[in-house]
Structure 1
């Protein structure tokens, strides 16, 4: 039996919902003394505006992210061209002091790195839930103390491990101190939806005031970004986004969705619904409510139209992770925006072929 027609159900329900809602709205406006729909709309707008966090001053944002590559550039202006994703993890063991130093030596002055908490609450620079992908041991980071994690060599599986020797997981403090000393800027990516990390960020920015003009805090989770900016509106923040981020572990064109995050069907449906709501609300409400300054967008969801739409909202689009030389050239030369990459190989060629070199 051909069940292809079942795919039409969501679209048909949407049409029905919009039609019914429009009819109800017209009836409510013209037939009610106190139209509930209008009152509800006004109340929602008022609540969103009341509890939103205004974006930081554009001058502060420009101090961190610099001029956009397509703008008129003077010799003294800073222009962000390349962000080393996890410290260019294809060139050196990712999220390590060695990788960040390698970036500095190659002239890359903007680093993205990931942070999470150990079992005893120590903020460390690490991406995965476990260390298995990078080390000859398997430990769950959130259930392991810093004392047991700090001596693990995470270079053992890297193709260039011989260049770097034993490489360990750094703390957030160590990474930030080294990058500030090297004059590097940074994206601090909060990996987990754990509110315990929020006071850690606030304390870090309070102790290191220069981070307000050197660092952007980012995450996939809008609630985390809201709490960070609500507690300190001066912190510049971005949100990371990709298709199906909450329901599926990965997304890549042309393969599409990766494995499901949740095996239980009801949890998977909830994740799918959250993806739908989040995708709809991000360009309409979420960006305004959070006071976002940038959007870290999956490269396979990038288009010129999206860049222009977000530019009108005052939000920069920075795609990730752009590793192919052809993709780098397209983004740098045609779209004229910055990008995150896992490798610095060929960067000089890409950018020295642009008008802004």
Structure 2
């Protein structure tokens, strides 16, 4: 059996159309120039490609192109949004108390950022606990709001569970508060329609390699009306309207734009097909018995399936599935393997958290791939349970 890729939440392959666009921006006979070189035709053409990509990403999000700030990916976007907002407010009033609301199951790019602000910049943080289904509810945000809350940062789709947060409801309750809303949408793009106007968000992070674009490039949506102000975290040239300096990578941005165009055209069709494959996989796994679904049964995106297998060692299970690329939320350190903090947060025991696997499907997954994965997982789990 050839190796199967069921780890689309970690990264996606570039779509062939995207790879073609990228290639045409690399060599001397292509569109290779610096978009900031405005004194010659080569630079103008590169700038045109970058601005076309900006329009394509904006169209995917229902935004104005002027609201798209290029970054190196969602991690930088999250840092720019959270640190940038806090630093801007500190510049206005250095002594004002600041409070951030986030959740205990955010990506580390958010959790580590707010922890840094908490430790070194006197920002207080409330980390909302998920329910047993991995959901964060708007009522929790309402209860946690304080007079000095400046930012709420919550992901649209959880990267381990695939559970979805009701972002529009949270945005609605913030209407009467000064706090702004940042959304990490890295796992949402390509898996569901994302509309920043309908969601009414202020800041939103995007990563190209999560939706069949290139690695190393992303964007931050920054609302213009009413205008959201953030302080730059990278300086040196004042690019991106002063919010993010650095020479723009024409090939990556053009590729991201093409990936965004494809998402805009295909997202609903893709998700209907992928959701059916995900259900096929889950139904087959249930035949093994003592297999537990992690996360809400329906309030989750079509791509994700996170399950725990009772009666098996998680490390051995993952190592034994060499022919099926899946992932575990467990984190390694020098002495031990810690269970997934997300699975622990929803109440899973250490054993079930260790034995949790995230299987994520994508645009190039077939029904035959699912059947082959089921056969291999069934073989491995059955063997391990006999030992």
- Shorter-normalised TM range: 0.3 to 0.5
Name which structure has the greater RCO, CA cutoff 8 Å, separation 6+.
2
TM-score, normalised via structure 2 length? 0.30
TM-score, normalised via structure 1 length? 0.32
